[in-house]
Structure 1
Amino acid sequence: MNEPPFAQEDELYPKLYISQSPLSIHRRPVATTSKPETAIDGLPGQPRIGLHDIELASYLQAELITADLNKLAPHLWLVAKQDSAHISSLTHQIVRGRQIIITENPGLHLVWIYDRVYIKPIPKYLLSHAFWGFYLCGVDSPIRPDARQQLVQAALGFLRSYFYLVQHKSDFSIATNDDHRLIPKSISYSEFVSFIKAFDGKRIGDDIVSPRYAFGELRLSRLNLCSKVFLRRISYHKIHGQYGEHLAQFYGPILFIFGIFSVLLSAMQVALAVQAMGTSSRSWLTFAQVSRWFSVFTIICSAILALVPVVSLLVLLTRETVFALTKLYEKRTALKAAGEKRHGKSVV
């Protein structure tokens, strides 16, 4: 990408500019009460990092690139719907009973668990045309070309997610209120719409974003499971901070299993006791036969009850796997057809 994805007149942070002699980027001077006019040489929104800091590239990589999710990308179809537009707007997140949790970790952006969803605010520097032009798109950028390409892909995918998160003015109000501040409060809704339309999914395709952003929202419980297999880690992100909370999640299933085994053993005990009675009075023999068959019936019912959740889980997993494989096949077929079409045009 040789040019910023949005026009200069649509930028939402105009406080940076590029000087030509020498070629550099600077903050525009601002008047303060203590000093007449000074230019703070810091990254917008993060004064700890200077605009010309040698660690700037490393900082941007930590802030934008989702390394673990990119590694998991070939397997993310097991975790979520293979659709980059599968992102609920902010109002719909609330309708679904989810609490919006602010995170600065790009790997948690659009990850949800139970009644909460993690969302990363938009850094101010990504709203600047000069920042894109100097660091991410400029041929004279101090950032290495390979690292710059990864940053551009991550930034495009990240900003594209906001095209889906903010669909209405009510979404914008949630994004700018004091509880969230996902978007700087000084920006108006019309200004944001003019800016974010450059990141429409029809303009920014999955082929130019990070592999992670080929998917929308991701379920954390499934990410934790996939991480054990594909990342060789205990979890992708710890859900419970205390041992008690971690162990509490097993109480229900363990008690359920104990209950099933208790019923089974009690039924078996009745059956064995009836078998050991041998002969007796006619009334007791009738009762013994009823007890024996009732114990067998109890064992069968207990076995069925134990199998119901297992079978339902297998059915659910099979259905989701078939759906994911179908979507994967359709996407690969479409990409193959598009590639053949482009190849045909190049030959002509």
Structure 2
Amino acid sequence: MESPFETCPLKDWEVDLSTLLPASHRIRGDHIVSPSRSDTRVFLENELLIPRIDAIRKQLWMCGRPMPPRPLHKQVLLGREITIAEEADHHCVWASDKIYLKPLPAYLLHPGFWRTHLSDRKGGDSLNDDALKTHGPSTVQETYTASVGDLAACARGLLFSYTALIAYESDFKIAKEKFLIPEEVDWSSWRILCEEYLTNHTYQSVNPRYWYGELRMPRLNKVYKYGKGHIFRGFSSVGSPSSYDDWLRDNFAYLSLVFAFVVVIISAMQLGIATERLAGNASFQNASYGFTVFSIVSLVILSGLIVVIALCMIASNWIATKTYEKRRFEETGVDINGLTSVRRS
């Protein structure tokens, strides 16, 4: 699989490819390393793969339509705030009045990078000795989780989404203002790149996630909560209440709305009982009594359920935090009690 385009829109096309990478990136174990000093293949897996979206590939029809994303100017017309999200699985995901977009990396705009790192003939990079010496064997991933073809499919999908997002020069200006594309790319070179890419584009060459354009965050959360069993966290915490107080406030607000409807119905029943026609109606009396008792019991149960869920969330997060803290300190070789570094054998 070669580069999907030949013209390099970057002004300095002879640049050292390593300079197109970010300053740092996070690998397994939450260790921070320099992409230029570590394995580029591992970096690309962390940057481009979307395993959480792939895990619900068959349910994506619930979250969006199988069509390219709408241009940036259309997103603005819809009242959506364009927000940067460097995580690939948040790209083209929207919620309420925001749409999250992963900026198009400069390295994906260089044909040489595709031939070097995203070509099946290359087969990927191997771990280098400098990375092992600098970071230690415990902080460097030693195995790959995807093939070069999978990486290229995700990269092609991301690039394809931008050919749809930046269709007009007005979209291009919005992209520049929001730092979605490198500053050195100009409109004419972008048009040429899109022409070259779209000439040979096929949907079979991109990751199936990119068959769908914009995905809805609330529906992704529901799929993960009820389909994957991630009851507390869902797909993402982005846009969710940031504290337990906010979570309780939101849920009790919904419960208050239900309570308001119940009050209206009970008030209507009381008025009905006060009338001569319904005062002696045994069926209406029984229905009013049953609904009143049911409403009281239901509201008490729902209130208790909200509190229980909140307590379970607190306990779950506390256990997860303490477990992670213990594992993290063991991996980094520090002693939180003595506040000193310890050498592992």
* Fold shared, TM-score > 0.5 on shorter chain: yes
Residues 155-174 of structure 1: pairs in structure 2 closer than 5 A = 155-174=155-174
Residues 1-348 of structure 1: pairs in structure 2 closer than 5 A = 1=1, 3-7=2-6, 10-13=7-10, 15=12, 27-28=15-16, 42-48=18-24, 53-81=37-65, 83-85=66-68, 87-137=69-119, 139-143=121-125, 146-177=146-177, 180-200=178-198, 203-233=200-230, 234-238=233-237, 239-271=240-272, 274=274, 288-289=276-277
Q: Cα offset for 1:197?
A: 2.4
SS of aligned partner of 1:97: coil
Say how many residue pairs are matched. Answer: 256
Counterpart of 1:4, as a letter, is: S
Q: Cα offset for 1:207?
A: 1.5
Going from structure 1 to structure 2, the CA distance change for 1:51 and 1:222 (only over 3 Å counts) comes to closer
Q: Cα offset for 1:222?
A: 0.4
1:241-286 per-residue CA deviation (whole Å, 9 max, x = no partner) reads 12233333334431221122223333444555x5xxxxxxxxxxxx
Q: Cα offset for 1:137?
A: 1.4
1:85-136 per-residue CA deviation (whole Å, 9 max, x = no partner) reads 2x11111111100000011010100000000000111111101111111111
Going from structure 1 to structure 2, the CA distance change for 1:157 and 1:253 (only over 3 Å counts) comes to same
Structure 1 gap ranges (5+): 18-26, 29-40, 275-286, 304-348
Going from structure 1 to structure 2, the CA distance change for 1:242 and 1:95 (only over 3 Å counts) comes to same
Tell me the distance in 1 between the aligned counterparts of 2:220 and 2:211: 16
Retained in 2: the 8 A contact 1:150–1:210?
yes
Identity within the alignment, %: 26
Tell me the distance in 2 between the aligned counterparts of 1:100 and 1:63: 20
1:20-74 per-residue CA deviation (whole Å, 9 max, x = no partner) reads xxxxxxx45xxxxxxxxxxxx7341414476764422111111111111011111
Structure 2 gap ranges (5+): 25-32, 126-143, 292-345
Tell me the distance in 2 between the aligned counterparts of 1:106 and 1:230: 22
Going from structure 1 to structure 2, the CA distance change for 1:155 and 1:186 (only over 3 Å counts) comes to same
Tell me the distance in 2 between the aligned counterparts of 1:292 and 1:174: 70
SS of aligned partner of 2:265: helix
Counterpart of 1:5, as a letter, is: P
SS of aligned partner of 1:158: helix
Tell me the distance in 2 between the aligned counterparts of 1:126 and 1:255: 51
Larger Rg: 1
Counterpart of 1:115, as a letter, is: D
Tell me the distance in 2 between the aligned counterparts of 1:210 and 1:91: 25
Going from structure 1 to structure 2, the CA distance change for 1:151 and 1:254 (only over 3 Å counts) comes to same
Retained in 2: the 8 A contact 1:100–1:116?
yes
Retained in 2: the 8 A contact 1:14–1:129?
no
Counterpart of 1:289, as a letter, is: R
Tell me the distance in 2 between the aligned counterparts of 1:68 and 1:247: 28
SS of aligned partner of 2:147: helix
Retained in 2: the 8 A contact 1:98–1:116?
yes
**Root-mean-square deviation (Å):** 2.9
Retained in 1: the 8 A contact 2:91–2:100?
yes
